[in-house]
Structure 1
Amino acid sequence: MTRCRLLYLLLLAALMISTEAAKGGGGRGRPRGRGRLFGSRMHILIPNRNPASTHYYENKDGAKIVKASHFELDYMLGRKITFFCMAIGVPRPEITWLKDGIELYHHKFFQVHEWPVGNDTIKSKMEIDPATQKDAGYYECQADNQYAVDRRGFRTDYVMISY
């Protein structure tokens, strides 16, 4: 790829991001529709994608996270942290929880509750109770099936209240 073309693509991506930000897209809050930039899902233009990769990345049966917790959470030490994730896909996706890129496993203070809904939907709730300073970090819920993988991230930090 030539330098000019790469520079053009970078400028185009920056323009798209600034345009969406000016319109109120992106950042916190509810997504306002498909095709807009929001949350941790940013649409990227990939020129000259071959048909096989298009079929893979845009598969209608691929795992997609359709509902998730907010992107930042400040928690109080000793209280409960809760994150929610809901995904669709055929076959029904599996949800995996990660912290700082490492898969989380059940232990005494960490629980995951899951509810299958129909043949294509899974709901998952992750709870940490009681929360400690070590629980601050970057959490992700990852939904995957044989056709696709989708992720949402949530940053957490603790708040100390002084009296």
Structure 2
Amino acid sequence: MRGAPSRPGLPCGSGPWAPPRPPCHCPDHPPVALSVPPQVQPGPRVLKVLVGEAVDLNCVAEGNPEPRVAWSKDGVALRGEGPEGSVHFTAIQTSHAGTYRCEASSSAGVDAWELDLRPPHWGTDETSGLLERVAGENASLPCPARVPPSLREDRRRANVSGMAGQSLTLECDANGFPAPEITWLKDGRQVGVPRGWMGSRIQEGDSGLYSCRAENQAGIAQRDFDLLVLSE
């Protein structure tokens, strides 16, 4: 018996009787990375700090590709002492006042944040820290702030005289934070008790140079009294 002739025009292995072909394994395409413009986290617009305080200005930015962060002050580029994205001040001085700008840039764009740093001038009655924050936590300060001691007419020598047997009081008013410790000295040696005044009936042997020294973690202040005891 002869076999059935194959259909003309259909190659071998094709047609409805052909075996199924194995599935096609197409190569996976990697996802396309999208560019995201830099975005700087907002921080305070105005920062008031104590002269002598340590301050860190931190700038955090996100984006794709990762943005490069740079600081400038009044338009002049800065090189921070801290890690990239931060500026560290060991002790704030009045010369540090100005407008600071953090700029984050990449091939996708630029974003920036600015703040005004204002170290106030401290007088004898200004013993509370000033800090203004508008938004964010990109600036850090020690809390509470330390204030160096200040004395009324400190660094000035007062000439004081009195008669032997007379009651005499030397006053020493000190301000600061933390509260300064008072030490009295006579001719460079500690005398009396640690308080803001020193008084007694004076004798001729009490003549000498008395110093009131106020000291805390932020500094030292001193006032001198040149005492002359007169005999009757």
TM-score normalised according to structure 2 size: 0.35
Query: Which of the two has higher C-alpha Rg?
Result: 2
Structure number with the bigger relative contact order (C-alpha 8 A, sep ≥ 6) is 1
Q: Which has the higher strand share?
A: 2
